[in-house]
Amino acid sequence: MSMRGGQYSSDHQKKASLKQSFKVCFCFRRIFRVKMVEAPEEVKHVFNKYSNNGTMSLDDLHKFLVEFQGEKDARKEDAQEIFNSLRHLNIFQRRGLHIEAFFRYLLSDQNDPIISRPGLVHHDMTAPLAHYFLYTGHNSYLTGNQFNSDSSTLPIIEALKKGVRVIELDLWPNSRGNDAEMVKDIFGEMLYIPDSQQLEFPSPQSLKRKVMISTKPPEYPDAKELATYDDGEEEYDENAIMGYRNLIGIHAGKPKGDKENWFAHQSTSQVKRLSLSEQELEDVAKTHATDIVRFTQRNLLRIYPKGTRLDSSNYDPMVGWMHGAQMVAFNMQVGICGVPADTTWMKRTKAIEDEWNPVWNEEFRFALRVPELALLRIEALEYDTSGKHDFGGQTCLPVWELKTGIRAVPLYSRKGHQYPSISSSPQTYAIPLSS
């Protein structure tokens, strides 16, 4: 049983070409390094341009935000907030910012690279649900592998904190047949009750603070099964089934028959959700790609990991996203991808040995065909001459949401947790130039 509610990321397909240039000046500092990283030459050059006699005034900082950072709507009050956040530091001067304080600001959470701030949504959220990609979890209740790990509510809580909007639960019917009443009692007014026949899905805006159930509708028992009960029991069973069916906001199902017919005959009335494994999608996409895209224009398509992924590993979600699959279910590990022309680009800086505070000063350029779906992944590795380089941290950013200018980029572990040493002052930064 899948449930969803809240906010979603919009999928606005624009057939435009965009060249995005990133000048990368990474500074990665170990947690046990107390000494402050010295500002790179690029930062010193920018500071000298927007300061006078080694001091950046309030007006200078405001000018820097508007001109260099591209924040056209920045106010002097915003610059004042930055000043106030640095007053407790010994490197702050009343007349303005010295290079050390300016550099500290560049590495702070106030200088994040994403346009939208946490908790704020700037996309149109009034279109039907089928127009959006939904952050979807797979077997959200498992604590480890798919074979013998325990079930717990803790992974569900952790997934919700990370922004997952589709949680998978198993609901086993009890002998009393009061499952529907139990669901209504638990969720109360938060439970979304659909119309009898939905011609289109509701919008994310209308589903805020709502829980929506998506599952396969229960089937009525046939006449032979009902014959074993008396009239009263038969009526009770039918009422229980109807009560449960009426709670289902999105009717789900699995494809039947030959795969050539899965998307060939689509209902023009009630919308639905179809579930395919990653392998099933890859197979049917080879010959029926257009039918899949047409299906996802009104309906929901869920993709889930194949059954052989017992270690809870994840698959490449690119195929699903390319064909409009809104619910690409993950085992809660981050995947990186874009369209085919955009996934082949991987560039690496030169290795710097025996340096606690490395500065690379390298520039990378990427030509993107569909920037709305492109993601910029930054990974820090510890160079090892004897074998495989050690993983240091990573981050993944949507290109379409990036700000220009010098931006702080925090690093995360493989499980998606932000490193504590970077939570207050991110120590890796990049310079995305104008597109």
* 285 assigned to some structural domain: yes
Both 48 and 194 in a single domain? no
Which single residue is written with the structure tokens 């057939």? 15
Q: Return the CATH number at 232.
A: 3.20.20.190
CB-based contacts of 145: which residues, under 8 Å, 6+ apart? 310, 311, 312
- The interaxial angle of helices 99-106 and 41-49, nearest 10 deg, is 110
Residue 278 CB neighbour total at 10 angstroms: 20
Both 239 and 156 in a single domain? yes
* 71 assigned to some structural domain: yes
pLDDT at 425 over 70: no
Both 43 and 148 in a single domain? no
Both 72 and 133 in a single domain? no
Q: 254 forms bridges with which residues in the sheet?
A: none
* 305 assigned to some structural domain: yes
CA distance readout (Å), 90 to 32, 52, 57, 86, 372: 21, 20, 17, 9, 43
Both 102 and 124 in a single domain? no
- Region 56-67: mean pLDDT is 95
CB-based contacts of 306: which residues, under 8 Å, 6+ apart? 277, 278, 279, 315
Going by their DSSP bridges, the two strands 18-24 and 429-432 should be labelled as: antiparallel
pLDDT at 408: 82
pLDDT at 253: 79
Q: How confident is the model at residue 21 (pLDDT cuts 50, 70, 90)?
A: low
Both 143 and 57 in a single domain? no
- Region 309-314: mean pLDDT is 69
Pick from 308, 330, 352: which residue ends a domain?
Answer: 330
Q: How confident is the model at residue 264 (pLDDT cuts 50, 70, 90)?
A: low
Mean pLDDT, rounded, of the chain? 75
Both 253 and 129 in a single domain? yes
Amino acid (one-letter) located at 210: K
CA proximity to 80, closest of 64, 66, 59, 53: 59
pLDDT at 412: 84
Both 128 and 204 in a single domain? yes
Query: Quick check: 262 and 286 in contact, CB under 8 A?
Result: no
pLDDT at 398: 85
pLDDT at 51: 95
Say which DSSP state 114 is in: B
CA distance readout (Å), 276 to 100, 101, 329, 346: 54, 53, 10, 30
Q: How confident is the model at residue 245 (pLDDT cuts 50, 70, 90)?
A: confident
Both 196 and 274 in a single domain? yes
- Region 341-361: mean pLDDT is 56
* 255 assigned to some structural domain: yes
Task: Identify the H or E element spanning 430.
Answer: strand 429-432
- Region 256-276: mean pLDDT is 76
The pLDDT tens digits of the residues spanning 149-187 come to: 677 888 888 888 888 899 888 776 665 667 778 888 999
* 313 assigned to some structural domain: yes
Longest dimension (CA), the chain: 94
Q: 18 forms bridges with which residues in the sheet?
A: 368
Least confident of 132-136, 148-152, 406-410: 148-152
Both 230 and 254 in a single domain? yes
CA proximity to 292, closest of 317, 320, 258, 267: 320
pLDDT at 251 over 90: no
Both 159 and 279 in a single domain? yes
Total tally of structural domains belonging to the chain? 2
pTM more than 0.75: no
149 vs 34: CA distance, rounded Å: 41
Pick from 306, 330, 354: which residue ends a domain?
Answer: 330
Both 176 and 143 in a single domain? yes
pLDDT at 90: 60
pLDDT at 108: 85
Q: Return the CATH number at 43.
A: 1.10.238
pLDDT at 392: 81
* 73 assigned to some structural domain: yes
Instruction: Look at phi and psi of residue 138 and say left if phi exceeds 0, alpha if psi is from -120 to 50, else beta.
Output: beta
Pick from 53, 77, 106: which residue ends a domain?
Answer: 106
Least confident of 126-140, 174-188, 196-210: 174-188
* 31 assigned to some structural domain: no
Range of the domain at 286: 2-13+120-330
CA proximity to 216, closest of 254, 168, 186, 185: 254
83 vs 422: CA distance, rounded Å: 21
174 vs 182: CA distance, rounded Å: 11
Least confident of 145-154, 349-358, 421-430: 421-430
Q: How confident is the model at residue 14 (pLDDT cuts 50, 70, 90)?
A: very low
Strands (E), 222-361: 248-253, 273-277, 300-304, 327-330
Decide which of 249 and 177 is more confident.
249
Least confident of 58-72, 125-139, 235-249, 261-275: 235-249
* 390 assigned to some structural domain: no
pLDDT at 236: 46
Q: Which two tokens stand for residue 99?
A: 């290079």
